Structure 1
């Protein structure tokens, strides 16, 4: 169980004034590792999600540039201002949601409209504390079940890839398993490196790498549709809050850090709103990389660990320069291979969500209903299965809690 001395306002002042002083080499190393792991382990999920809702290669490149700057600048601002290791990331579960949702009425501009809506809702959460309490009040088994249902199809992809592309599929899976046996932290980045190498050596579409390797920004005029609002924005907001922001705060609390919450949501929401017109998905608090920044490996002294989050933010900005190459290679490769790498990156998240969904016996049936409806792809009125899964599971949850005797009084 990790432990550290909780930081209060006096710690903030001490860190600001330089006590404990100077740049921490271990924090710099951890921050660089955070950027590399955070980017390499889930960039395929982000690309797959954006592609599924209609983004072309240029728009995906633009989105990767904008989201890199957005989460980098947000991390630098929040960690510097609060002197706490506040790590910011893109919403990997949210991108998995997009991959499962598929095209919506209005195309990618409608998805961008949904991104802007989510950014506004996140900012509203920072201003209106009741909304944050409502999100936190969603039964955790149901939120976990919805996430597990979203991730299930992608997590099956690594094994489907073996049938469609046996050689490469087995190679990616073997590298992931062997490297994970030595150091689990490097397993997914190693699998991504093998897949990207194969894509570069044998691109299935003529043209190879783009002539202009410097990425550019593409402005996408947002379109607001009812289908995208209910089918993308609301589930994306719930997933972002339930599987990223709330766990991110919990991870920080585990290490003794209690940052001021409203500025976190206001900043991540504002940066998301500024970058969304360039196709960028929502940015939010990180959970896994937050544990890396907040842990003792970042620095033995808790008051200096915020530097790891700052360096991680700088790393994300630097990695934005790779957006054109990354997007081109991934978009010109077999879809099943992209999904396979994304599935490997999400196996841990799927396992955690599944465990959280079924471990409470009295909530098990509502959670399973939520999971199965979400995984089924059920869609009505253009609204995706994640929303209906939460609705059906919520109805089962309410039915289980209903007491006829109390209702008759």
Structure 2
């Protein structure tokens, strides 16, 4: 006699995972931002697997985040509700809990492009670009990494030379989110005159700018990342970001994004833990729910302890960020710890779901592969360890 069709499991329910009430007691304003992000997550969750599976960029869903005012990443932009650092972290966590590709798109749009404009743009540039970028109307890319320079992006080879009233850009960039979205790209290039890194706002329709979407990715499949060629790209002098004088300025933006990555890892881990816990309660093996087996309960307890440590680090570093006392090494520790912990939770959750863990409908495998990308970008584990080691010992081991 046939056993009947396979059972489908409901693993998308948000559970009470704040075991130590780490996130309790926030202001009503912070909670309102979090609630909007949770509503957004509920909107995109039923849709995102198909986009991810097809490797298709859900532009409308990115712009929907802008409509809900979720793209400003704690930056002060006229006409938009300013988030506290805690609210910005919660928004990142909640979008990541739904999907990593859309969280990455939001991080590029707000955490990198918008932050570069707020920190480095002229008043005229801000007037032109801040609002459309903050609202998601104009999508932006942040072109720093190159085919031969990822972790050592300080050694970038893309060049800029001044010719009269124009700058001429030449070089190659790789892994540029939104780099082929049809909007603008913040291009970082080395001035041939003084050897310093400078930033430029480049319209993607500019002659000589060509972007090819990277194919065959096994992670973050629903955000299009591009390999960009800059061939004699000419931009007006007013396209230069005037408040950038060296690579140290670029680092100011990158430090903040490492906090964002810490919260994003927490969102991924939360989703995978919730899926594992729900599955353990719903799945019956050997005559009782998986949750009734000692080894499963031990695994769930380990995952919860990891998740709680991630929450504590997120809140602690964000409090320093809000007070203006956060040091770069502290942001690196958050990124280092939380992406490592998210990988462990991903492995445990996938294992707990058995064969069902590789089905997109159960959400774990998508988060698991996306965490692999998260673990690498904005500075690899090794780079963060070297930053921490230098801070601890006073000795640089980078070279």
TM over 0.5: no
Structure scoring higher RCO (CA < 8 A, sep ≥ 6) equals: 1
- TM-score bracket, normalised by the shorter chain, equals under 0.3
Q: Greater strand share, 1 or 2?
A: 2
TM-score (norm 1): 0.26
